[in-house]
Amino acid sequence: MTAFGLTEEQREFAARVRASAAGELRPLAEAGAPGRVNRDLLAAMGRLGLLARLFPGAATGGGSREAAAMDLCLLRESLATECTEAETALALQGLGSYPVLQSGREEQVRRWLPAVAAGEAVAAFALSEPGAGSDAAALELAAEPDGDGWRLTGTKTWISNAPEADFYTVFARTTPGAGARGVSAFLVPADRPGLSGKHLDMVSPHPIGTLTFDAVPVRGGELLGEADRGFVVAMRTLDLFRPSVGAFAVGMAQAALAAACEYAAGRTAFGGPLKDQQAVAHLLAEMATRTEAARLLVYSAASALDAGAPGVAGRSAMAKLFATETAQFVVDAAVQIHGARALQRGHLLEHLYREVRAPRIYEGASEIQRTIIARQLFK
């Protein structure tokens, strides 16, 4: 199914990504250990040039160094349709690296971005804490002045790619009691003394863990952007990636819908194909309609972001909200159509059922998106 407004070039690109994901990346993903960084998968994505699409102008020095929002959406939807592990690996590389690309020094960009694009270095975005999830401005990881730098003390948790990343974009409090205005962003290599971590065993199959900072030293040159302006660094990255979270969800919904249609066409029940049962046929129609509506909303938000249109925050929030909630519905409905077999370990829908839940929480929970949308209504 093709969304209205895509060019032939965009459709061909999406088809190539899906083919690479199905033929080359999925076997590597299946061979990896759940809940661990799959470096073989990342290396393959680097060889295929997929990770470099995150930083189109960084290697050549020409044009925009940031990916267009629409390109991110096409990448993430296409990968997710065939291999959610590859999609998540790409998204996490982008999320951890974009604060460096957008706000880092040129030497930081040259040191880390080529390695990330090649799949040789693993990035992570370290914002959430035990007491600071949706309310990110409440974070407490302390950055104490130390000569021309700082020492970081505290805990981060629910950090994707932790503790296996090679570097972290870390958000810490440089001014106590100042809320969002007292947060700074730092680039912290993983080999710093005092930095440790552990894996968390989560429902979602991608790597996630906690980080402990015990007076971890960071130099003045490792500040990203300006001191006490780290929240701006974080939001700049999240604003770009928010519509593409919706694209990830659309890809999962499309995969679940395709599986449900194939099963309903081949399964015989009550004397005929399952697809001829009105209850099933109408459910498939609802799944397809919601998936296409989510796709169009995501692409509309991405196009608006690329065009610099007004009201982008609200449109991006609508895209993430509707697409992630839709994906949850479609995957659940596909499981219902399949019955118990869909809940067997290793089944595509069992995998999607575990994968689909997290996007309704991370990078702004659905409730936060509704708050953003409501505020935009009265601006």
Direct distance between the N- and C-terminal alpha carbons of the chain, in angstroms, rounded to an integer = 36
Q: Which of 298, 368, 346, 351 is nearest to 326 (CA)?
A: 298
363 is catalytic: yes
3-state secondary structure of 62: coil
Q: Are 327 and 293 in contact (CB under 8 A)?
A: no
Angle at 366 between CA 11 and CA 298, to 5 degrees: 15
Among 24, 129, 363, 367, which one carries the catalytic annotation?
A: 363
CA 267 – CA 279 distance, rounded (Å): 15
Q: Which of 122, 105, 221, 231 is nearest to 171 (CA)?
A: 231
Q: Where are the alpha helices (DSSP H) in the chain?
A: 8-20, 26-31, 39-47, 69-82, 84-103, 106-117, 230-266, 278-307, 312-338, 348-355, 366-377
Type of residue at 277 = Q
Residue 152: its H or E element: strand 149-160
In the numeric block, the tokens 């390695």 are attached to: 115
Bridge partners for 212 per DSSP? 155, 196
CA 349 – CA 365 distance, rounded (Å): 23
Please, what sign has the CA dihedral across residues 260, 266, 270, 275?
Answer: positive
Which residues are catalytically annotated?
Answer: 363
